[in-house]
Amino acid sequence: MSLTLADLIAFNAVLIAAIAAPGAALLYFIKTTVTSGRVAGMLTGVGLGTAAALWTLAALMGLEAVFTVFPWTYTALKIGGALYLIWIAIQTWRHARDPIGEAPMPRGRAIVSGLLLNFGNPKSMLFAAAVIVVVFPQGLGVVDIAIIVANHLVLELAFYAVFAVLLSSPPARRAYVGLKPVLDRIAATLLGALGVRLILEK
């Protein structure tokens, strides 16, 4: 069987809901965009979206079987991602009272940070695998797989680009500046809790 437009629409509906869910990726993206500006936010989105699309590619290629055969690979990725989240949480808490706008994030660092954040979450691939089994027919060809991955990447980039524009507006920035210590510490607590949860859960 081949890929249909209805399959892509169903996949995109689930994907949009997943991207917009308040998880580690969205929290980090929001903080980066408001503190470092629109470009940093968009580039962080590039990293997040690229990693997420590559996890979808891995799921389509059946690489979740590797985690089943070699469970230590899943554990290693999960712990690495958890430690990175905890490190981000500590840095966010430490600099909660620092003024914003004095040290914009380098572009390369923004992309790499987004990549590391989503690469460190192997659950993304397991989620993608679960959705793929339900939404898409079996026996997809190379072209169909390429379309699905490209579609995923474009959707992620579009979401983060639009959100970056909205979050980097002067009203949003002023609102954040006034509440920065509180908001940063809330974000740090949530990111740290997500990291600890990743380490503790089986």
Q: Where are the domains of the chain?
A: 5-200
Q: Each residue of 20-74: pLDDT tens digit? A: 877 788 888 988 888 888 899 999 999 999 999 998 898 888 776 766 767 887 7
Tell me, what's the pLDDT at 34? 84
- Contacts of 25 by beta carbon, 8 Å cutoff, 6+ apart: 19, 48, 52, 114, 117, 118, 121
- Contacts of 44 by beta carbon, 8 Å cutoff, 6+ apart: 28, 29, 32, 33, 105, 110, 111, 113, 114, 160
Tell me, what's the pLDDT at 1? 61
Tell me, what's the pLDDT at 164? 92
Cut 0.85: pTM above it: no
Tell me, what's the pLDDT at 149? 94
- Which has the closest alpha carbon to 187: 46, 20, 25? 25
Burial 132-148 (b: 16+ CB within 10 A, else e): beebbeeebeeebbeeb
- How far apart CA 24 and CA 62 sit, in angstroms, is 25
What residues of the chain score a pLDDT lower than 70?
A: 1, 64, 66-67, 69, 100-104, 202
Compute CA distances 85 → 9, 126, 162, whole Å: 32, 19, 25
Tell me, what's the pLDDT at 202? 65
